[in-house]
Amino acid sequence: MIPLVYASQEPGTLIVRGYGPISVWSWDDGFLYDAVDLTSTAGGAVASGTEMVYFRDIQSKTYQQTNMSLTSQLPSGWEMIVLQIGIHIPDNPVDNTSSATIATSVAMAQSVLEYGYAEFILDNSAVIASGPVSRFASPWGVFGHLDFSSNAIGSIASLQNGTPVQSAVPYLQIPIFLSDARTFRGTIHFYDALAGCPVSATMRIHMVLHGFMKSPAM
């Protein structure tokens, strides 16, 4: 059982700490996610003040990038109880057949984890959750590579930004309630320049909200 959720004596009902009872017939387990690309300048630098904004600029994005249909808010009649916030760093979309590229890909992810600062904001002003990117473990698995050459291990480079199982990702101490009447966004800030870091290509980074979702059809 999720630490924030308790069984009720009433059949079909769960108690969410900080929210109250919910019906299993009206709510479902679900995710909201959005992807933003981090692109460096020539030489692999990321300027100080760079900001990545999530759940806002969704135009022309596919379902591989986001499942948001409206900018910064849920559709009419939808609600969500957010239990986890995660940042997922997938494989860098450059050729990963050489050990040099593998090392670069891992170093790029390490730069984001070490220098990025994330926030989740409600109603354009209230910072509900914040901290280094490394605080928000990915609920979608472990970032890493394996490279095999001539039937032998040529090189191995991996970097963990999550856990192998979703249940091991920390839950919020107090759930966050979203509705169609509230706006929200996530951000990753880089307050210091990442000069000389090996961000040598566009890097796509996801922010993921996991919890209970309710739609008008339920």
Domain boundaries, the chain: 29-214
Q: Is the pLDDT of residue 8 over 70?
A: yes
Q: Is the pLDDT of residue 174 over 70?
A: yes
Instruction: Give pLDDT, residue 218.
Output: 56
Q: Is the pLDDT of residue 181 over 80?
A: yes
Strands of the 79-88 sheet, one edge to the other: 28-38, 203-214, 79-88, 176-179
Q: Tell me, rounded to whole angstroms, the distance of Cα 133 from its chain centroid.
A: 9
- Residue 138: is it exposed, middle or buried by C-beta count within 10 angstroms (0-12/13-18/19+)? buried
Instruction: Give pLDDT, residue 159.
Output: 58
Whether the CA torsion 46, 49, 55, 56 is positive or negative: it is negative
Region 22-32: mean pLDDT is: 93
Q: Is the pLDDT of residue 95 over 90?
A: no
- Read off the pLDDT of residues 119-170 as tens digits, 9 standing for 90 and up: 999 999 899 999 999 889 887 665 544 444 444 445 555 556 667 666 777 8
Lowest mean pLDDT among 16-25, 40-49, 80-89, 172-181: 40-49
Instruction: Give pLDDT, residue 10.
Output: 87
Q: Is the pLDDT of residue 91 over 90?
A: no
Q: What is the Cβ-side half-sphere exposure of residue 38, based on CA atoms within 13 angstroms?
A: 33
Higher pLDDT, 199 or 210: 210
Lowest mean pLDDT among 28-37, 45-54, 62-71, 137-146: 137-146
Beta bridge partners of 205: 36
- Read off the pLDDT of residues 103-120 as tens digits, 9 standing for 90 and up: 666 677 777 888 899 999
Higher pLDDT, 137 or 188: 188
Q: Contact 188/87 with Cβ under 8 angstroms? A: yes
Instruction: Give pLDDT, residue 145.
Output: 45
- How many Å apart are CA 5 and CA 19, to the nearest integer? 10
* Residue count (the chain): 218
Q: Contact 32/88 with Cβ under 8 angstroms? A: no
- Residue 112: is it exposed, middle or buried by C-beta count within 10 angstroms (0-12/13-18/19+)? buried
Instruction: Give pLDDT, residue 118.
Output: 96
Q: Contact 208/33 with Cβ under 8 angstroms? A: yes
